Homo-oligomer: A and B are copies of this chain.
């Protein structure tokens, strides 16, 4: 397996660091628009792993240009293109990988567009629609696009498949629930506002109309931040208020897993919801460039890019952050024994541990872990397929076993939890 990693931001950097401990691949090309970021990642890997670092090479890439993606993939004879940049670049990387004859993985899917007339009730263009529309091209090329293979979507979809196969005879709701108790401080120990994940993506998913799936109704939408609910997260995180958010799981799970209802709720908290509402009110969430004065005359910038640039880089805040983040799926329905069952399947990532082990903050690291496991399952042939497939299209047990097995025994040493409620 020869992997072209597109993007050496926080998640791309962590993918390289996690992969460096594994021997399932031959080469990983770490590419970025800013090649110095790729070189920094490789220097860190080489410093820690010596010879293993020789499998990594840096390259410059323009993720917005399918030709550039295809050219870099061909130059390095990539068998797999691993997309680790923002979802706005999904279409171009997706096209570049297919053009180069490589398989493809991402952690977020092609973006949605709200319904023009009734955005808070009806879906318009849905997350991933653009990719699923091209499924035939991937099938006929005999190539695989494994989409939504981060932690959420990704591990959450694996959990859904596991619940359907191993725990339930019928499922009422697959409710993805994500919460954390992370706190970031400045140099003086004062708590600061510093999102632990790309604000660009967070704005996108939180301000778009949340999507819900019901068996007798199909996909539909609601107003942002709808149906607030307090969910009790495990391992000391405790109760967090969660609200509906547009997320890939709701588009992926119903395609392969039988359930009556699929939802995604994110533990944003009051402060973050307030920030997002204010950004929207002031049109600072906009992605269309506006004209702004500058010392060098008027320039055109997207307000959302300015918001992202003004905040600390999420990849940089790890040393000043404390707490844990939890990703999982709350499943309700009828158990294998025919009685009602309710479980929360989850994985917790502790920032103190990820910083010490990987020099990577926990949200970013948790996202990066899962595509590396998936790549290993594809490399060893445990997972295989063609077309455009979500994580729940593959058997879940081998994934969760490899994930949980101690590192000393060839696993990833990452325990996951099953909380019977």
A residues near B (Cβ < 8 Å) are 193, 274-275, 278-279, 281-284, 286, 289-296, 299-303, 305-307, 309-311
Q: How far is the CB of A310 from chain B (nearest CB, A)?
A: 4
In the complex, A274→B274 CA distance in Å?
A: 9
| Contact of B303 with A310 in the complex, beta carbons under 8 Å | yes
| Contact of A296 with B291 in the complex, beta carbons under 8 Å | no
Q: How far is the CB of A9 from chain B (nearest CB, A)?
A: 12
Partner of A290, one of B284, B295, B303, B309: B309
In the complex, A279→B289 CA distance in Å?
A: 20
Q: B residues within 8 A CB of A307? A: 282, 284
| Contact of B310 with A299 in the complex, beta carbons under 8 Å | no
Starting from the known contacts A284-B307, A294-B302, 7 additional A-B residue pairs (CB-CB under 8 Å) come to A279-B282, A284-B284, A284-B310, A293-B305, A296-B299, A303-B306, A306-B306
| Contact of B278 with A306 in the complex, beta carbons under 8 Å | no
Known: A275-B278, A278-B275. A292 touches B284 (CB 8 A): no
| Contact of B306 with A301 in the complex, beta carbons under 8 Å | yes
Number of copies: 2
| Contact of B284 with A275 in the complex, beta carbons under 8 Å | no
Q: B residues within 8 A CB of A296? A: 299-300
Known: A193-B282, A284-B284. A295 touches B289 (CB 8 A): yes
Q: What are 17 sample pairs from A and B whose C-beta atoms fall under 8 A apart? A: A282-B307, A282-B310, A282-B311, A283-B310, A286-B310, A290-B306, A290-B309, A291-B309, A292-B305, A292-B309, A293-B309, A294-B300, A294-B301, A299-B299, A303-B306, A303-B310, A306-B306
- What secondary structure prevails in chain A residues at the interface with B? mixed
| Contact of A311 with B283 in the complex, beta carbons under 8 Å | yes
| Contact of A306 with B281 in the complex, beta carbons under 8 Å | no
The chain B residue sitting closest to A283, CB to CB, is B310
Partner of A305, one of B193, B286, B294: B294
Which has the most chain B C-beta neighbours within 10 Å: A279, A289, A301? A301
| Contact of B275 with A281 in the complex, beta carbons under 8 Å | yes
Q: How far is the CB of A233 from chain B (nearest CB, A)?
A: 25
Q: B residues within 8 A CB of A282? A: 193, 275, 279, 307, 310-311
Q: B residues within 8 A CB of A301? A: 292-294, 299, 301, 306
Q: How far is the CB of A295 from chain B (nearest CB, A)?
A: 7
| Contact of B305 with A295 in the complex, beta carbons under 8 Å | no
Q: B residues within 8 A CB of A291? A: 309
Q: How far is the CB of A282 from chain B (nearest CB, A)?
A: 6
Q: B residues within 8 A CB of A305? A: 292-294
Q: B residues within 8 A CB of A193? A: 281-282
In the complex, A69→B284 CA distance in Å?
A: 34
Q: B residues within 8 A CB of A294? A: 289, 299-302, 305
